[in-house]
A and B are shown apart, each in its own frame.
Chain A
């Protein structure tokens, strides 16, 4: 058992390291992680102390991307904002994934009445739209970082619930589920080894992808003045401020926007590579220098087990109504 796990882990890391996108996105995330660890204080005064004499300047020798409306160095401030931007968005998405995943899984496992009522509740919540839902939560919890995280978390929860629900449903009708029941596998065994393993990688991809959307959603709240409050700052807040002074120094908006973009791309690619790595169907038979053969194996594997790909309709469903 333990030796088996070991082999599986090794195959997983091999699969991960054999994908260039996995390595590149991994390196970017590593860099971002360093920035997260450094935090706002790691960048000294430049990021936080204002200098009204040099407000909204364009690029210069000592401020490579210029300054913001309060004369702070854009580039340094953007790097310093990494921690809160990523941590708050991740926390919100993680909350949505756990709560939504549980709720969706429970609804899928429930009887016809649970499914009907649960489905209706999810649809109603989604009908409000994420931002409206988030604003309602902020109104209840209060303005500020904590309120914003909870608000985005709640707003994303029905999407994860719906996604998990459809995912579990699509797995439940497979022959191997009937086969497991005929063999007499226990309910918990079916939950963990059959449902769990077969929905995990799709959930992983979507969770990573959603972190990028979480950053955007936090920005939207900042834009409405309901997000992070100064003296705290994140990319969303910088972006909003930067847009206001776009004609004085466009970089005040472009630099944080670029960081949002890079982070979004990296989490997407990383999630994709991770999902490939945890999915045995996508492991190549042997480390191959012949890429065409590798691709053929993958294509073959995909053709044989269609459930491992995310249903594009489902993904669209999940993205629907996002800011």
Chain B
């Protein structure tokens, strides 16, 4: 569904800096693709380019065959109707002056256009928040009154409000502590099962990627150094860099290499 062909992202600077150096990446429909790499390797640049927030300087991005490279007007509406991005820092990605229920309600009303009145949008928002596990008591609160884990659930609910077929999750658990992280990952697993949504899951943490992803891409200094199915990359890494990443990795909740099929609820 999402295809990146030879995509380059150069920030104008000065001095100009090429953060992504002509990479190829594809997220097949219904699958979850992991993108790993150390901090500064260009992962967020790819995410932002794919969602149309950062200009692409070379190459092509398509979503279900439609060209969405540097989207404007019609292609922007097409992209935003189908793809959503959840940011890394939950405290920064919600408007501090807006109750969280309103933040989700706003997304619902964008998604439904004029079809629903505000009462119905509000109800739909509360349902969504309920579904991602935000307690009722928190719904009328402002972002600073919630924990990072709860906020990340809110951001996920807001993305779901647009019923995306692709979700890009940019280090969504990186700022959370381990037990909260595990609960968010379980929520994402549940969404994978229940919804028809493809995911591009970005992380510098390999254990998280292994837990969620079918395919894995490994990035370094703006270049793709390795790609393959999760089992290939994790069990027989070809590149020294990947091997180094693997041996340096912290573990998620105890024992080291659980596959995505045997980690029980955290």
Residues of A within 8 A of B (CB): 1, 4, 7, 174-176, 178-186, 189, 193-194, 197-198, 279-281, 285, 301, 304-305, 307-308
Contact = CB atoms under 8 A, between A and B. Distances in A.
B93 interface: yes
28 contacts: A1-B118, A175-B92, A175-B93, A176-B93, A176-B94, A178-B48, A178-B53, A180-B95, A182-B51, A182-B80, A183-B80, A183-B162, A184-B80, A184-B110, A184-B162, A185-B110, A193-B95, A193-B97, A193-B98, A193-B106, A194-B95, A197-B95, A280-B96, A285-B145, A304-B91, A305-B91, A305-B96, A305-B144
A185 B53 contact: no
A119 to B, nearest CB: 19
B227 interface: no
A181 B83 CA distance: 12
B155 interface: yes
B85 interface: yes
A183 B142 contact: no
B144 A179 contact: no
B204 interface: no
B87 A179 contact: yes
Contacts of B158: 179, 183
B154 to A, nearest CB: 11
Contacts, number: 80
Given A179-B155, A184-B80, A185-B106, A281 B142 contact: yes
Interface in B82-131: 84-85, 87, 89, 91-99, 106-107, 110-111, 118, 122
Given A182-B51, A183-B158, A197 B97 contact: yes
B140 interface: yes
B102 to A, nearest CB: 8
Contacts of A4: 99, 140
Interface in B136-189: 140, 142, 144-145, 155, 158-159, 161-162
A7 B141 CA distance: 11
Contacts of A279: 97
A175 B172 CA distance: 13
A209 to B, nearest CB: 21
